[in-house]
Amino acid sequence: MGKLEGKIAVVTGGTSGIGLATAKLFAAEGAYVFITGRREEAIAAAVKAAGSNVQGVRVDVADLADLDHLYETVRARGRIDVVFANAGTSEMALLEGMDEQHFDRIFDVNVKGALFTVQKALPLLNDGASVILTGSIAGVKGAPGYSVYGAGKAAIRQMVRAWTMELRDRGIRSNVISPGPIDTQTMRRQPREAMAAILSAIPMGRTGNAEEVAAAALFLASEDASFVTGIELFVDGGSAQV
């Protein structure tokens, strides 16, 4: 029997990278998984890749009407056992050159989107459910050009601290996964010199992969983490730890 046998899970930003790897793993462990994305063709491809027991819903998490539509769809299954608010966006802007649109793009998706993904799930969440948010080592480390992105990830960490207390009477566990450098298409497009600098700062000497982050998400989603709430679990090869 899988670790999520018979569970219902929602994974936002589930069409690629960490989200898709997590959706695949959740489904393999017995869950029925709803994944979201903003493009229909990407959703269709992800559902095909993830195998059985996966359903896609087109959602922009910054649009509250889209989130209402998501949970109307999920309601047909009756409940939710796991919410993985993973959808996010990232872009670089130095302080002297950033504009209001940069701030709004980052906070609308990464902070507002995560908050209302969880809030609007509450009526469907089972007592004892697991809520997981995707943070980043950027929330605790400074990096030129990523002040707004890092601030948004720090906000996610703080929201989970508060929710841990607010939702304790229902036994709902809230946790953050904060990845470090993960092998993605964006990472692979970095100049060789930039990649060398990134690798030199990772104690384990390599980037991580999406499946390693998905394994951490499975731990937090499952009964293996039944006494784990309010934490920030770093999956970063030690990057933010030393």
Contacts of 72 (CB under 8 A, 6+ apart): none
What would the mean pLDDT of 87-106 be, rounded to a whole number?
95
Within a domain: 30: yes
What would the mean pLDDT of 16-23 be, rounded to a whole number?
96
pLDDT at 140: 93
Within a domain: 226: yes
pLDDT at 106: 97
Within a domain: 2: no
- Residue 179, beta-bridge partner list: 235
Q: Are 21 and 47 in contact (CB under 8 A)?
A: no
Within a domain: 1: no
The domain containing residue 197 runs over which residues? 8-235
- Residue-wise pLDDT for 140-167, tens only, equals 998 889 999 999 999 999 999 999 999 9
Does residue 236 surpass a pLDDT of 80? yes
Q: Which of the four pLDDT bands, split at 50, 70 and 90, describes residue 42?
A: very high
Within a domain: 231: yes
What would the mean pLDDT of 210-231 be, rounded to a whole number?
98
What would the mean pLDDT of 187-204 be, rounded to a whole number?
80
Does residue 197 surpass a pLDDT of 90? no
| pLDDT, mean over the chain | 95
Map 179-209 to HEC letters. Answer: ECCECCHHHHCCCHHHHHHHHHCCCCCCCEC
Look up tokens 């994305």; give the residue.
37
Tally of structural domains, the chain: 1
pTM for the predicted model, two decimal places: 0.95
So which residues are the catalytic ones? 149
Within a domain: 241: no
pLDDT at 199: 84
pLDDT at 198: 80
- Residue-wise pLDDT for 118-144, tens only, equals 999 999 999 999 999 999 999 999 888
What would the mean pLDDT of 27-52 be, rounded to a whole number?
95
Q: Are 50 and 20 in contact (CB under 8 A)?
A: yes
Within a domain: 242: no
Within a domain: 134: yes
Compute, in degrees rounded to 10, the torsion defined by CA atoms 205, 211, 61, 117: -110
- Residue 84, beta-bridge partner list: 11, 132
The domain spanning residue 38 has which CATH number? Answer: 3.40.50.720
- Residue-wise pLDDT for 50-88, tens only, equals 988 999 999 999 999 999 999 999 999 999 999 999 999
